[in-house]
Amino acid sequence: MASMETADNKETPAPTASPASIPDLTGKSDDELLQMRICDLKLKIQGTELEARIQTFHDELAAKGVSFKPLCYLGDEWFCPEGSATIAIPFYLAHPRLKKLEEHMMMEVEGGTEAWCMRLLRHEMGHVLNHVYLIDKDRRWQKIFGPPSLEYSESFRARPYSKRFVRHLEGWYAQSHPEEDFAETVAIWLTPGVDWKQQYRDWTALKKLEYVDTLLHKLAGQPPMVLSKVKMSEASRLRSRLEAYYRRRRRLYAQDFPDFFDADLKKLFADAAVAPNNERAAVFLRRSSKMILNAVSVWTGEPKFTLNRVLRALTQRCAELDLRLRAESAGVEISAYLATLASHYRLTGKFKVT
């Protein structure tokens, strides 16, 4: 996953903190936390649930014969710095209070569960292996996965039923770029208990898994060709306040949504003059928003924060038009509609194609 540097993320050397200077985050309100600088949180992996998960991750590598262990550190997001042998883990995962703030601000906690965290670690390990062994320079790698020089794009034409790619992270992430395709393939190969030969039998993606299997057995025990321990955007050096950090992240997902949803909404819901006694559509959408967002996010791979912006716009417009429920299947229909908008965004970068 690509890293991103902004003016909000200026780095500065941070002095070693004494136990007395470590802030107690548990009792702080959201407003108090948002005014704190990331470097002043004094977060560490040691002693947190991340420490045990990283150890499990290292055990998985050893079980697969991968002797090289990447350096994991706290950063501002999940990523592997270009050319490095390090993995950045979002700082908010190092404290339960910050996880709650993350969920409040972004509506989900990426890597917040053990299973999700392990999936992301395995994915980033694919990038680490690529970096330290210069694997993508190999002509066969490029023939199998494609040219690594392709530009990244947030909107790519996903093919949900394609058997050319493994399925690991949500949103068909393997299809986004050759390097992500390789990282996702490595992640499947690393996952304990997965019989990938059976699971991907008759898939074109099986050739990629076989290539990774042969390659990593060949590299077993070999020292890295390049060993950079660069730690970009290290949390202990980030001077930006949490308020600015979330402003930046929200800006990445924020969209100026078009105002031409009316015709669609009138197909989904009834006019108040036709069904005056039916429940208001806006009330229903507010009550069902969590269920709708969870379902659509899982199947489209779009962040809940982005989807919520769309759903809030639809809900507000339903209130202004005083629309009413038409049928008991309204939840299914609005979920399908929201998923359609998300799919358009995935393919074109816009939520609706005129």
The whole-number pLDDT of residue 123 equals 98
Return the higher-pLDDT residue of 267 and 151.
267
* Exposure string over 129-159, b if 16+ CB within 10 A, otherwise e: bbbbbebbeeeebeebbeeeeeeeeeebebe
Q: Is the pLDDT of residue 3 over 50?
A: no
Indicate the SS3 state at residue 88: strand
The whole-number pLDDT of residue 161 equals 84
The 10s digit of each residue's pLDDT in 300-317 is: 888 888 888 889 888 988
Residue with tokens 């993320």: 9
Show the DSSP H helices in 137-204 as ranges: 139-145, 178-190, 196-199
The 10s digit of each residue's pLDDT in 167-177 is: 999 878 899 99
Interhelix angle for 304-321 vs 281-300, to 10°?
Answer: 160
d(CA 335, CA 350): 18
The 10s digit of each residue's pLDDT in 281-298 is: 999 999 999 999 999 988
What values do phi and psi take at 89, rounded to 5? -115, 135
Structure tokens at 230: 């660069």
pLDDT band at 341; cut points 50, 70, 90: confident
Interhelix angle for 178-190 vs 205-219, to 10°?
Answer: 70
**Cβ–Cβ < 8 Å for 318, 269:** yes
E strands present in the chain: 71-75, 86-90, 270-271, 323-324
Q: Which amino acid is at 33?
A: L
d(CA 87, CA 115): 17
The whole-number pLDDT of residue 259 equals 53
**Which residues partner with 162 through β-bridges?**
none
Q: Is the pLDDT of residue 86 over 70?
A: yes
Q: Is the pLDDT of residue 350 over 90?
A: no
**Percent of the chain's residues with pLDDT above 70:** 88
The 10s digit of each residue's pLDDT in 87-128 is: 999 999 999 999 999 999 988 899 999 999 999 999 999 999
Long-range contacts of residues 154-159, Cβ cutoff 8 Å, at least 24 apart: 154/349, 155/345, 155/346, 155/347, 155/348, 155/349, 156/346, 157/347, 158/301, 158/346, 158/347
Q: Is the pLDDT of residue 7 over 80?
A: no
**Percent of the chain's residues with pLDDT above 90:** 64
**Cβ–Cβ < 8 Å for 338, 292:** yes
What is the average pLDDT across 17-39?
85
**Which residues partner with 281 through β-bridges?**
none
d(CA 311, CA 281): 12
What is the average pLDDT across 140-168?
86
The 10s digit of each residue's pLDDT in 187-240 is: 999 999 999 999 999 999 999 999 999 999 999 888 899 889 999 999 999 999
Q: Is the pLDDT of residue 154 over 70?
A: no
Diameter of the chain measured on Cα atoms:
74
Structure tokens at 12: 């500065």
